[in-house]
Amino acid sequence: MPLALIKHALGLSRPKRQLPAQKELRSNYDVVIVGGGGHGLAAAYYLAKDWGVTNVAVLEKSWLGGGNTARNTAIVRSNYITPEGVRFYKESMGLFETLSQDLDFNVMYTKRGHLTLAHTDAAMRTMRWRAEVNKHMGVQSELVDDQDVARIEPALNMSRDVRWPILGALHHPVGATARHDAVAWGYAQRAAEMGVEIHQGTEVTGFELSGGKIVSVQTTRGKVGCGKVLQAVAGMSSKVAGMAGVTLPIRTIPLQACVSQPLKPFLDTIIVSGSLHCYIWQSQRGECVMGGAVDPYPLQAPRSTLDFKEGLMAHMLELIPGLADAPLMRQWAGLADMTPDFSPVMGKTSLENHYIDAGWGTWGFKATPVCGKRMAECVATEKVPDILSAFRFDRFKTFDQVGEAGAASVGS
């Protein structure tokens, strides 16, 4: 249990969520991080902690953790399909395991188990493939049949008398959720304690380039010189990279989610169906957190639609008919930056001191710790860590895709 919680329980100290008062921007930083979401803040934390780089500014146009970090459905798992993907997310889950202790900040990491349902023979084949790759990489993952599914999650409708009966599933017992906001707050607070400056309400509006390098960053609060720039702006990746003249293999597409009113606890596991384009889990408060696939076409602004709810519910009610009477409380959207192979883009760009953390699509929350840690290593050492090399930003130029569509298309 996090020490802060015990201290709080004993009345020794109050849990803190404050950051130091925001200062004037300095004229120069060793590293400027654009984007104060989970990823940017995690990178700032590991830069300071692992590499002693503390002359760092995180520039956030609105408020920290308010972008996709605040909008995601908080699912953490590592049952991907490519060895590169599985290895990467496995490391992230390892970091999540001890994150509350490491940050002394409760991120409410909770293992629930994760079922990816199969409704067709083709889906069963993909699940078997994933299970084998996962096991090979040391990740707990098993193909189970319909009877096992019924035992693992009794809330599911196992009737054969539906459009898409459940034939089996990929069972990932370690699948988990974490409090997404707390992940950002925890990283922010610890990074700030080590001297990282976090500037909210500070939008990056341009870069000044000279000799293949970014020499300064223009912001709504003036210009700052920079040694290196790391951009971690999720749905705004193309826009920000464009300011540096860098084109990305990314399309920005809204992703929507919703929650029901709190219900009595009835659902233990995280349920995902790639074929039916929907997923659901029940929060500690009893709300059903639900989502689907990205919208059918690109858009640079989030908005909620009726189509999303209709499409989602048609399938959801087949899986859990009892939800028909549950009122929805909230619906919202974020911006997913989709790559052609459904894998992220990380590392150096074509500019000498420009580092990118992008292409997170619908699945990047679970990568927050590993991406922060390894991007910090990449920035500090100027070498691309092994675990990131497959995700390099120019991999499409050489047709070296990391095809994760089979494991990342829905279900975050």
Partner 1 sequence: MKIMNCPLNGPRNISEFAYGGEVKPTPAPEAPSQDWADYVYYHANQPGILREWWLHVPTSYWFIAERDVTTDRIIATFKPEEVLR
Ligand X SMILES: Cc1cc2nc3c(=O)[nH]c(=O)nc-3n(C[C@H](O)[C@H](O)[C@H](O)COP(=O)(O)OP(=O)(O)OC[C@H]3O[C@@H](n4cnc5c(N)ncnc54)[C@H](O)[C@@H]3O)c2cc1C
Under 8 Å between Cβ of 340 and 393: no
Which of the choices partner 1, ligand X, none does residue 36 contact, using the CB cut-off of 5 to 8 A by kind?
A: ligand X
Residue number, 19 or 158, with CB nearest to ligand X: 19
Q: Does 330 bind partner 1 (CB under 8 A)?
A: no
Strands 168-172 and 28-34: unpaired
- Neighbouring-strand partners of residue 221: none
Q: How far apart (Å, rounded) are the C-alpha atoms in residues 389 and 84?
A: 9
The least CB distance from residue 300 to ligand X, in Å, is 11
Specify the 3-state DSSP secondary structure of 399.
coil
- x/- track of binding to ligand X for residues 284-323 (CB under 6 A): -------x--------------------------------
Q: How far apart (Å, rounded) are the C-alpha atoms in residues 319 and 411?
A: 15
Which of the choices ligand X, partner 1, none does residue 290 contact, using the CB cut-off of 5 to 8 A by kind?
A: none
Q: How far apart (Å, rounded) are the C-alpha atoms in residues 159 and 292?
A: 22
Of the candidates 35, 168, 249, 347, which one interacts with ligand X according to CB under 6 A? Answer: 35
Q: How far apart (Å, rounded) are the C-alpha atoms in residues 201 and 203?
A: 6
The least CB distance from residue 333 to ligand X, in Å, is 6
Site residues for partner 1, 240-269, by CB under 8 A, read: 242, 247-252
Q: Does 292 bind partner 1 (CB under 8 A)?
A: no
Which of the choices partner 1, ligand X, none does residue 399 contact, using the CB cut-off of 5 to 8 A by kind?
A: partner 1
- x/- track of binding to ligand X for residues 195-214 (CB under 6 A): --------xx----------
Burial class (CB in 10 A: 0-12, 13-18, 19+), 61: buried
Q: Cβ neighbours of residue 41 under 8 Å, at least 6 residues apart?
A: 58, 64, 65, 184, 187, 188, 191, 198, 372
Which of the choices partner 1, ligand X, none does residue 248 contact, using the CB cut-off of 5 to 8 A by kind?
A: partner 1
Residues found near ligand X in the complex (CB under 6 A): 34-40, 59-62, 66-69, 71-75, 203-204, 232-234, 236, 240, 255-257, 291, 334, 336, 360, 362-366, 412
